[in-house]
Amino acid sequence: MIKTIFFEDNKVKYIDQTLLPGKYKVVSCTDVKKLEVAIKTLAIRGAPAIGIGGAYGIVLAALSYKGSNKDEFFKAIEEGEKIKNARPTAVNLTWAVKRMMNHFYSIKDKSISEIKKELILEAEKIREEDAEINRKMGQYGHPLISTGDGVLTHCNAGALATSEYGTALGVIRAAVEAGKKVRVYSDETRPLLQGARLTTWELKEDGIPVTLICDGMAGISMRRGLIQKVVVGADRIALNGDTANKIGTYQAAVLAKENNIPFYVAAPISTFDPKAKTGDDIPIEERDKDEVTHIGGKRIATEGIDVFNPAFDVTPAKYISRIITEKGVLRAPYEKSIKKLFD
């Protein structure tokens, strides 16, 4: 099983996803600022994975301090907390950093060495919990997949987007492990091609049949009966079920509705934002125009044109058939079923 991000020998180690599929490289990092850059540049990506990265960032901030002055030590950790601002849409990042900081404040009276050890343990706990949660989602979600299904997924919500196993791809993996024969249809996912580069690589590594399609081919694929289900991940979910995910998810959901195809979202409870009543409350990150005008460093668009490059869109809850979590499968009305998660 792919291990996307982990802690070893006082270093954060992660697969540099900007190099896939051409090159597989595990990077070692001991600097919280460099880890923040890795998250910003998508070397580490996927909501759960960057949450784990944020937790490890607090660890690196603590380990970077070599002195004995507690005030200076606390300042180093609080400076590391800024990693939570690396990506604004994925709520798992702020969730994990907040959990780490709350744990830090609860043990701040201990010695510096003890605090460092406990922060490492808490970050490792977050990673281990994520792996377990993904498998639970797979077990709850795979009954929604039938043998013979063609399953469309968008972007990459697999092992590469988590600690291991995956959210949306975890549901598909669980279906395959249960003996179901399925074929995955992977949108290429412009502008950064996470579907083409990452999802196809990951599924091929696992021997799961996958067909790559351009983003604009989803409709005809559905119309021709190639696709029976859609399963995607999420970066943030509002209390009414509106879901932010990689740009292009919204249009896939609309197409699924038009073609009477179930559209499922798989996400851990840490992806739900109690402060977001609707999708209008979810901040949408906008990224550099070069991501649209260039592919592989080569310009593909006319120079000097205006570019709109939101990294995410929000799918209204009315297009979502079910939301798969580690506590079970949620049904509409989502205001009620999501509320129960926090009661």
**Nearest-10 Cα torsion for 144, 218, 281, 240:** -30
The residue annotated as part of the active site, out of 130, 149, 235, 313, is 235
Helix axes 112-141, 91-106, angle to 10 degrees: 140
How far apart (Å, rounded) are the C-alpha atoms in residues 241 and 237? 6
Are residues 166 and 157 in contact, defined by beta-carbon separation less than 8 angstroms? yes
Triad 289, 295, 301: Cα angle to 5°: 60
Please name which of 153, 279, 290 lies closest in space to residue 215, comparing C-alpha atoms.
153
Are residues 197 and 212 in contact, defined by beta-carbon separation less than 8 angstroms? no
Tracing tokens 């249960």 back to the chain, one arrives at 178
Number of CB atoms found within 10 A of residue 243's CB: 32
3-state class (DSSP) for residue 316: coil
How far apart (Å, rounded) are the C-alpha atoms in residues 128 and 52? 10
Helix, strand, coil in percent for the chain, rounding step 5 = 45, 15, 35
Concerning whether 16 is annotated as a catalytic residue, the answer is no
State residue 251 phi and psi, 5-degree precision.
-65, -35
Measured in whole angstroms, the distance separating CA 56 from the mean position of its chain's CA atoms is 16
Provide CB contacts within 8 A for 12, sequence distance 6+: 5, 6, 28, 29, 30, 35, 53, 56, 57, 59, 60
Q: Which residues participate in catalysis according to the annotation?
A: 235
